[in-house]
Amino acid sequence: MIAFAKPVLLATALLVASGAAEAGERLVTGPRGATAYKSITAQDGVLTRHVDRKGAYGGTSTATQTCVAGSGKCTGSFAATGAYGRTATGSSVATRTADGYARTGLATGPSGGVWTRTVTRR
């Protein structure tokens, strides 16, 4: 689910924010005309990753993750609209711990249901 940052994203974000990787952008085209525009910017120790997606059947989503070098913390948010106009939103926070990381996310579904999830990885 888009609402929760993945461990790979956290690791990549921390590398880019520390200057160990290059910032950039790209457009990815998938089957039946689906597209994803992905950009990463790094400035003054702040990494921002932004993804805009458009599905083959009209659904769209936007996701943004931001990490600050040296803080050990990344935040993220997303918003999605399905092909029939139903929406979902969410946010997450990933924090580095002494032996891994902890991630907490919140998502609100199209019918107004709210889900929370906390994951700790070692």
State the average pLDDT for the chain: 84
pLDDT band at 122 (very low <50, low <70, confident <90, very high): confident
Per-residue model confidence (pLDDT) at position 117: 95
Please state, in angstroms and rounded to a whole number, the distance separating the CA atoms of residues 118 and 13: 20
Query: Tokens for 8?
Result: 């790979």
- pLDDT tens readout for residues 59-86: 999 999 999 999 999 999 999 999 889 9
Sign of the Cα pseudo-torsion (60, 112, 73, 12, in order):
negative
Sign of the Cα pseudo-torsion (17, 103, 62, 89, in order):
negative
